[in-house]
Each structure stands twice: as structure tokens, then as C-alpha cells.
Structure 1
Amino acid sequence: MAYRLQIGSKKIFEDLIALGMTSRKSNTLKLLIIPKKHFNHFVRGYFDGDGNVYIHKRKDRKGKLSLLAGFTCGSEVFLEKVFSELKKTANIKKGSLYCKNNTYYCLYFSTNDSVSLYNFMYNQCGDLFLLRKKERFEKYLKNR
């Protein structure tokens, strides 16, 4: 679902630009400076909005379950920055960043790094998360 905000007042438009709002933000989005102690909360919020997690049976490993988690975004630079920070703070080793349909970018992690992402995002988070996504991780962890 996408939303559009149309501003008819030049003054309001200029004020919003001065406050940091940009047009077509999906293509120009940049990672803000986020204190390390809050980065896992930022990642969890971003994941709840633009992340996804899949459990699937691997054909090449006799039906063994695999976990795939990742993010989507209109900005490759934004995902590169998120990935770089996750490598530093979340014990994530590798990821796959690619363009899909020439319209948006995907950053995905294999099973071990997806588990690291889970541990990082849900550490000391209380009840501030989207339940269905957290439950999908936990279903994998319970059945692996």
C-alpha cells in the first residue's frame, strides 16, 4: 500500500523540505545516525514494516528446514548502510543484495545470519514488535 501527500502551499512545502522531508524518499533514503544502543530497535521497526521472513524445506537437504529473512527498499544505498551496520553489531556475516524488477532492492540473509538477525532484533524488546513475523522466526527455531 502506498500513500501520497500533496501540498498546495508553497510555504508549507518549503518548511517541510527545510525539516528534512524529501520527495520520492524511497529512492533517496539515507540511514540516519542512530545510537548503537537503539540500533536493534530501529532494525526491528524497519523489519516490521519492510522486512520478511520465510521458512522452506530444502530439496537438496532431504527436506531440512531453512530460514530466509531480509528487507526491501527503493534505495540500494540505504540497504548497503543497514547491511554494513548489521555486520558490525548483529554478528551477521553475509547477505545477498540485489535489484528486483528494476524497481526495488532486496537484502536477504541465509539461515545462520537470519537467526543472528532474530537474536539482535528481539533482544530486550519487550512487546514492541509485529507478532506474526516474530512467531515465524520462533516456529523455525522450534522445529529445526
Structure 2
Amino acid sequence: MSLKKNKRKFPNVPDVYLRDFIRGVLDGDGWISIDKKGREICIGLSGGSYEFLKELSDKLRKGLSLSTNNLRCRRRITRKGKTTIVYSIEWYGKNAFKVIRFLYDNLSNTNLFLHRKFIKQQEARKIFEKIRRVTREDVEEKFGVPIKTFLKQLLYERKANVTQIAKELGVRSSTIYEWVKKSGLKLPKKQRKYSITKCPICGRRFRKYNTSKRYCSLACAISSRLTGKTVNCIVCSKQIYRPAWWFKRNKYPICSRECQGRWKKNSFRKRYFKTK
């Protein structure tokens, strides 16, 4: 049945033959496609009657509980310069999978279908099973309890963490955090394990949460890296720290530019008077 030239309303089709009728429309003016990267499946219909596609989409949305559809108008200019209007409707992802199952599940020998479209829907099913994401509805259907009750049991009774729950359900940790937030639950506080250790610099005892931590504070960690010596400035006798490599290149420790200027001035006078 072609709809591109016939602007007509949706006929009164009994529910028993509804999927056969829609499958015939799909064979004539529809498509089942998979994107190039194999990450998305799509099923769609096109035609010249907006009312026909609108009523068809309403029937599928009510019968299959589809979340969204994409009914839109496309204008094309032919080679002769005429403008044609074509309406199209598409479903993606889980919605497309629902439509495919409705049209092609449990077919008998008496059912008619286009062989090329039948092979395409089999390929789309395989792709969808690979990329399919677990939803809240899937969890509720699998375990038979609301998602809030299920998360309560795992978090508070079994004391499982988010990573363990995500691994068990086959989803990401961010998905579990989102479900917990939407359910109005609060994650139990983590009890961090620690050990009491003695700081090798100041001798103070502290709680060690991280295995790589050796010092009680940042000051002790910095002081542990100080391998040099504390010396006196040759001009003002102020105590200053100099690293070990400094002693290989220098002889006279000076604390500031002011002292450096004084020292140069005195050394110049000594040299000048000696030569004179």
C-alpha cells in the first residue's frame, strides 16, 4: 500500500489484523536501518497523509507504550521545480525494538511479509541486544519489586556499594547514582579503614588512611626532603638553609641581595687598597 500519492485517513482495522496491516505499510513505504557505527537502530514510515501517520503512531504509542516518536514534514523540490510534501515518522532504540517485536514476533506460515525487511529486522535485533542498556523498568520487571525497594535492600541490608550494584546489574556506576537520587534515597556513609602510625620526622602519632602516606603533615613531608644544612650569613650572621648541591658551587652563604651588595662592596675595597 503506497501512501505517497494517496492522502487518506487511517482505515478501521480490527486489532487482530492491525500488525499485519502496519507490516504491509512498512514493506511498501518504510525502512529498518542501522547506523554506520552500529550503535543505533531505526524503523520508520513515510507517506503523503499526515492524518494517516498520526493515527497510526497514536495506536502504536497506546498499544506498545512508546515514549516518543518523530512525526515531521519534509518538503522536496523535484527536477521539474514542483514542491512535494512528504510526512515521515521514525522510532529509535528501545521504541524501535518494541515496534519490531510487535510486527515480526510469532509469525506463522500464513503471514505475509517482505523477505528483505524480515532479514533487516533480524540484524536490527542483534545490534540492539549488544547496545541495549538496562533501565529501571527492566530491573523492576526482573526482580518484581520497585526500584526504590530494590536499592534499599542492596544498600542497607546487604551493605553493597555502588560499584558492586552496578556490576551485578550490568550498568555504569553513574546510572546507580542517578537511580538513587531519583528514588530519594541517601547513600550510607562509608567507614574508612585506618591505622595509627608514628611520623618519622616529629614523632607524632596520626591516623593513616592512605597506604602511601608516611608523614603526619605537609610540613613534615617537606622537611623530609631537606638534605642540606643551616648556615650563617657571612654578612649579618642570619641563619639560612642551603641545599646540598649549593655547597658544590658556592663558598660564601649570603641571605639577601642587600647583604650581597655589602659583601661585594667590602671585597672591592679590600682588593682596591691592596693593589694600591
Q: TM-score range by the shorter chain?
A: 0.7 to 0.9
CA displacement at 1:125 relative to structure 2: 2.7
**Alignment equivalent of 1:91, drawn from 65, 68, 73:** 65
Q: Distance in 1 between matches of 2:86 and 2:38?
A: 30
Deviations 1:110-133 (A, max 9, x none): 111111111001133325211111
Deviations 1:80-124 (A, max 9, x none): 000000112233221100011151100000111111111001133
Alignment partner, residue 74 of structure 2: 100
- Check if 1:111 corresponds to 2:93: yes
Structure 1 letter corresponding to 2:120: R
Structure 2 letter corresponding to 1:73: G
- Check if 1:140 corresponds to 2:124: yes
Give % identity.
26
Q: Distance in 1 between matches of 2:64 and 2:18?
A: 10
Runs of 4+ in 1 over 4 A off after TM superposition: none
SS at match of 1:72: strand
Structure 2 letter corresponding to 1:26: N
Q: Distance in 2 between matches of 1:75 and 1:31?
A: 9
CA displacement at 1:137 relative to structure 2: 1.7
SS at match of 1:119: helix
| Cα contact 1:65–1:140 (8 A) shared by 2 | no
Q: Distance in 2 between matches of 1:142 and 1:97?
A: 26
CA displacement at 1:25 relative to structure 2: 5.8
* TM-score, length-scaled by structure 2: 0.39
SS at match of 1:95: coil
**Alignment equivalent of 1:68, drawn from 38, 42, 45:** 42
Structure 2 letter corresponding to 1:54: S
Root-mean-square deviation (Å): 2.0
CA displacement at 1:64 relative to structure 2: 5.1
- Name the structure, 1 or 2, with higher relative contact order (CA <8 Å, separation 6+): 1
Instruction: Tell me the number of residue pairs that the alignment of Structure 1 and Structure 2 aligns.
Output: 116
| Cα contact 2:34–2:42 (8 A) shared by 1 | yes
Q: Which runs of 5+ in 1 are unaligned?
A: 3-23, 58-62
SS at match of 2:67: coil
Mark the structure with the bigger radius of gyration. 2
Q: Which runs of 5+ in 2 are unaligned?
A: 76-83, 131-276
Q: Distance in 2 between matches of 1:91 and 1:137?
A: 20
